[in-house]
Homo-oligomer: A and B are copies of this chain.
Amino acid sequence: MKAGIVGATGYGGLELIRLLSDHPEVESLTLYSTSDAGKSFENLYSHMNTVITQKLEEINPESMQERLDIVFLATPPGVSRELTPKLAGRGLKVIDLSGDLRLTDPQQYTEWYKQEAASEEVLERAVYGLSEWNQKKIKEADIIANPGCYPTASLLGLGPIIQERLAIPETVVIDAKSGVSGAGKNPNPLTHFGHAQENFQIYKVNQHKHIPEIEQQLKTWNDEMSTVTFSTHLVPMTRGIMATIYLKLSEPQTTEQLLQLYENYYSMHPFVRVRQEGQFPCTKHVYASNYCDIGLTIDSRTNRVTIVSVIDNLMKGAASQAVQNMNLQFGIEETAGLQGLPLYP
């Protein structure tokens, strides 16, 4: 395959380069950038010195269609909305890591993203790339809307229980925590070391763009689902997301039964690992990998379930899930290029 990355200099782009450089089926990788076109990549990022020595190229949809089989858009909001329709088709598949194509309802996009939505035509062609759940559609899609980091952790944690209608809809609370890299590579006061180190912050309370994305998928699974409470926090670490999810059961269950349900749902999915009863994952268990690890328990005192779901926000929450989707789209081994073990310590 011949792959390209637009927006290669952001954190998502960097991880895509790392993964695709080592992918057995990717024979060439071209990097694109608006702002840095013409510059040598290794001069921008010394950790890639002597390895990624090529120059960044200008975005040119026509030549990209000729030259590439797959292109990843790791771009800021508002870019892929315009760019995708110019790229997708004629043998070129697009995986969009921005949020532009995730919400099927343009009005909702405008409301949460505070800008114009993509055209309905593009939105209809785009398939939501939650790899473990939408595999059939992903295989056929030429446009993938790659899920957000928080939605990936939250939805993989909620999928089985929501599909089985075991949750009382209005009781779902998702308390999510992310490493600081989730805020991207551009310096700002919240991510300045002196502020972020030895600090735990809550941000965008009830206003995060990932809220409608989570709700949309929950409703797809279960039309009785409505709104959820979803909070986001910044943890003084670089990588990792934990979603701690609370909900009340609509009918009695044991922890053992629920874990069995999850085991069944994910038995064919190598990247979701369900912990044994009494055990819970931490973010370092999935560091730099494509895994999503899940633990859960029922509190008999409150009849409330606590589900713990962890991912690496830049990997399963962005770049490695995109590669997993590419694997699915091209009919190659789902795990190709993704078999690296988590980094520990």
A21-66 contacts to B (CB < 8 Å): 21-22, 45-52
- Nearest Cβ in chain B — how far from A155, in angstroms? 18
Contact A198 B340 (CB under 8 A): no
Contact B188 A187 (CB under 8 A): yes
Quick one: copies of this chain in the complex? 4
Q: Does A206 contact B (CB under 8 A)?
A: yes
Contact B342 A175 (CB under 8 A): no
A175-223 contacts to B (CB < 8 Å): 175, 177, 179-181, 185-189, 191-203, 205-206
- Nearest Cβ in chain B — how far from A287, in angstroms? 7
The digit string for A226-253, where 1 denotes a CB below 8 A from any CB of B, is 0111010101111110101010000000
Select which of B48, B52, B198, B227 is within 8 A of A238 by beta carbon: B198
Which of A194, A244, A287, A301 has the most chain B CB atoms inside 10 A of its CB? A194
Of all chain B residues, the one with the shortest Cβ separation from A204 is B280
Contact B170 A197 (CB under 8 A): no
Stretch at the interface among A10-18, A114-122, A123-131, A133-141: A10-18
Q: Does A268 contact B (CB under 8 A)?
A: no
Q: Does A286 contact B (CB under 8 A)?
A: yes
Residues of B within 8 A of A186 (CB): 192
Residues of B within 8 A of A193 (CB): 180-181, 191-193, 196-197, 236, 238
Contact B306 A200 (CB under 8 A): no
Contact B202 A308 (CB under 8 A): yes
Which bucket holds chain A's interface residue count? 35 or more
A304–B52 alpha-carbon span in the complex (Å): 33
Select which of B48, B202, B275 is within 8 A of A280 by beta carbon: B202
Contact B286 A341 (CB under 8 A): no
The digit string for A318-345, where 1 denotes a CB below 8 A from any CB of B, is 0000000000000000000001111111
Q: Does A284 contact B (CB under 8 A)?
A: yes
Residues of B within 8 A of A191 (CB): 187, 192-194
A14–B194 alpha-carbon span in the complex (Å): 13
Q: Does A297 contact B (CB under 8 A)?
A: yes
Q: Does A256 contact B (CB under 8 A)?
A: no
Residues of B within 8 A of A81 (CB): none
The digit string for A282-307, where 1 denotes a CB below 8 A from any CB of B, is 11111110000100010101101010
Select which of B194, B202, B308 is within 8 A of A282 by beta carbon: B202
Of all chain B residues, the one with the shortest Cβ separation from A234 is B282
Contact A244 B202 (CB under 8 A): yes
Q: Does A281 contact B (CB under 8 A)?
A: yes
Given contacts A194-B181, A236-B237, A275-B46, whether A282 and B345 have CB atoms under 8 Å apart is no
Q: Does A92 contact B (CB under 8 A)?
A: no
Given contacts A181-B345, A200-B283, whether A304 and B47 have CB atoms under 8 Å apart is no
A173–B201 alpha-carbon span in the complex (Å): 19
Q: Does A108 contact B (CB under 8 A)?
A: no
Residues of B within 8 A of A288 (CB): 288, 343
Q: Does A89 contact B (CB under 8 A)?
A: no
Chosen A-B contacts, 11 in total, with CB atoms closer than 8 Å, are A14-B344, A45-B344, A48-B342, A173-B304, A180-B197, A187-B188, A194-B345, A200-B310, A201-B282, A203-B280, A288-B288
